[in-house]
Amino acid sequence: MGSLSLQSSDAQAADFDPGVIVSQNPATGEKLGEVPVATEEEVRAAVARGRAAQREWGRLPVRERARRVFAFRDEIINRAEEVIDCIVREGGKTRLEALNMEVLVAVDLADYFAKRAEKLLAPHPIPLHLLKTKKSYLHYVPRGVIGIISPWNFPFSIPLGETIMGLLAGNAVVLKPSEMTPLTALKAKELFDACGLPRDLFQVVTGRGATGAALIDSGVDQVIFTGSVATGRKVAAACGERLIPCTVELGGKAPAIVCADADLERTANALVWGAFANSGQVCASVERVYAHEAVHDELVERVVTKVRALRQGDPSSDDTDVGAMTWDRQLATVEATVNGAVAAGARVLVGGKRGPGPGLFFEPTVLADCRQEMDVMHREIFGPVMPIMKVRSEEEAIQLANDSHLGLCAYVFTKDRDKGRRIAERVEAGSVIVNDVLFSFGAPETPWIGVKQSTVGFTHSDDGLRELCQKRHVNVDRFATKRELWWYPYSPKAFNFMLKAMRFLFRAKRRA
């Protein structure tokens, strides 16, 4: 592996080879490797191979699929450090984050669903409330080949979780990882192949946006996309054109409402981790804080002290708290957002600029005196920045939290859990957590879901596994009769009978 400094956009343009992606270590600029850009034909061929492999896999009993997924889980556990090294080198997050937020999340999800898939995918009876002479049930049939298109911020846990659920549901998977993190996806593929599962059941096609678009166009039966709102719109439109189901998991702008009675030590600890873990490149990151005026100043003081103590630097050291950002483009966006906020009157209390050295570092930054109309309060930052705004009441905080086009996660801090629940139910977000942050992506039994422009569809949860199947309804008669009441021949007698039956049944029900 050679060494390469992190190139400027101009330099990159000069050496740009559209057929190759170069993976670099964002903390050092070291070149890690090259991968090819898959062509449309190659993507189609991968999907065709996946379809052939799926036929046999989809016919296996769920219990057998689960047994083989356990082998994949074990391979991940056994080679965890190899995976962690790869994630750290390619993405810039710290080793503990790579373990806790990527490997552990994937292992736990695999374990949870492999243990329960047989029960969750068993035929589901539908008791018929009126037609007692018949029996209905749903059965779950694999969709076929699932196309997964994933981002760079969690290059292992996001696509692997979706892949494992897709496989348990009886599908084949073709994954198009972000161009920033292809080696992590290929590492996952290496582990998959090593545990004896059919190779074509899970394939990785590396490439840029055009390869993702080609995957949607290649005849896949379902698409699971995670990424930006702008690309999500294109993906949903392309899937709509082809009438294939899609889930799009998009941006977030999570508000944190800090009530006057919050436990300030826990709140400050949670906010600091929630804003700076993975250098703030988390769709669920704390992106704006609304602090009640009664506790605002003390909260800010605690947060600033804790942020000053954070150790930023080499992500491969176990003593580092905050690693590198993954992409120079994102670093530039964060820098511009902070500069814009400062020009509009925000005060930098800590950080506020790029870190020293050649790597992609932005200092953990706390901004005070923020106002709702500033970009930093309503556009996704996706970097290590915590803007804080003072509010006069919890009511005002709820209004401001809901003043967003995004609604993925939100957080409420209060010692009064009943009040926390009441506020949580009024906040427009897919997951609202009282007195904690971020963790729910790591709880596979809860739906990963958003409202507004954050999500269409959902992943994770028991229903999320069933979403990866076609739901088919079967109805079987219980008694042999010669005809049903509503069949031919029609007659005045039949009409009067049905009218009387309707009146009897539904009036009686209303009185009851």
Closest CA to 233 of 405, 381, 403, 428: 405
- The total of other beta-carbon atoms located within 10 Å of residue 472's CB is 11
* CB 328, CB 10: distance < 8 Å: no
> Could you confirm whether 195 is annotated as catalytic?
no
C-beta closer to ligand NDP: residue 455 or 461: 455
Backbone phi, psi, residue 385, to 5°: -135, 130
Q: What is the closest distance, in whole angstroms, from the C-beta atom of residue 165 to ligand NDP in the complex?
A: 14
C-beta closer to ligand NDP: residue 104 or 138: 104
Amino acid identity of residue 291, one-letter, is A
C-beta closer to ligand NDP: residue 218 or 414: 218
Q: What is the closest distance, in whole angstroms, from the C-beta atom of residue 60 to ligand NDP in the complex?
A: 30
Q: What is the closest distance, in whole angstroms, from the C-beta atom of residue 327 to ligand NDP in the complex?
A: 7
Element (H, E) at 49: helix 40-59
Backbone phi, psi, residue 32, to 5°: -100, -30
Q: What is the closest distance, in whole angstroms, from the C-beta atom of residue 328 to ligand NDP in the complex?
A: 12
Of all residues in the shown chain, the one whose CB is closest to ligand NDP is 212
Query: Catalytic residue among 283, 370, 409, 469, which?
Result: 283
C-beta closer to ligand NDP: residue 371 or 452: 452
Q: What is the dihedral of CA 490, 492, 494, 498, to 10 degrees?
A: 120
Q: What is the closest distance, in whole angstroms, from the C-beta atom of residue 352 to ligand NDP in the complex?
A: 22
DSSP β-ladder status, 458-459 and 124-126: unpaired
> Could you confirm whether 469 is annotated as catalytic?
no
Give the interface with ligand NDP as residue ranges (CB under 6 A): 149-154, 176, 178-179, 208-209, 212-213, 226-228, 231, 234-235, 249-252, 283, 380, 382, 408, 455
C-beta closer to ligand NDP: residue 144 or 252: 252
Place of tokens 């490797």: 33
* CB 66, CB 110: distance < 8 Å: no
C-beta closer to ligand NDP: residue 43 or 391: 43
**What single DSSP character describes residue 5?**
P
Q: What is the closest distance, in whole angstroms, from the C-beta atom of residue 154 to ligand NDP in the complex?
A: 6
Q: What distance in Å separates the CA atoms of residue 197 and residue 393, rounded to the nearest whole number?
A: 56
Sign of CA dihedral 223, 469, 448, 107: negative
C-beta closer to ligand NDP: residue 201 or 408: 408
Q: What is the closest distance, in whole angstroms, from the C-beta atom of residue 283 to ligand NDP in the complex?
A: 3
Q: What distance in Å separates the CA atoms of residue 38 and residue 42, rounded to the nearest whole number?
A: 6
Three-state DSSP class for 102?
Answer: helix
Three-state DSSP class for 389?
Answer: strand
* CB 152, CB 137: distance < 8 Å: no
Amino acid identity of residue 441, one-letter, is F
Q: What distance in Å separates the CA atoms of residue 26 and residue 328, rounded to the nearest whole number?
A: 8
Query: Catalytic residue among 90, 249, 363, 467, which?
Result: 249
C-beta closer to ligand NDP: residue 188 or 304: 188
* CB 394, CB 434: distance < 8 Å: no
123: which residues sit within 8 A by CB, 6+ positions away?
137, 138, 139, 140, 474
Q: What is the closest distance, in whole angstroms, from the C-beta atom of residue 351 to ligand NDP in the complex?
A: 21
Residue positions annotated with a catalytic role: 249, 283
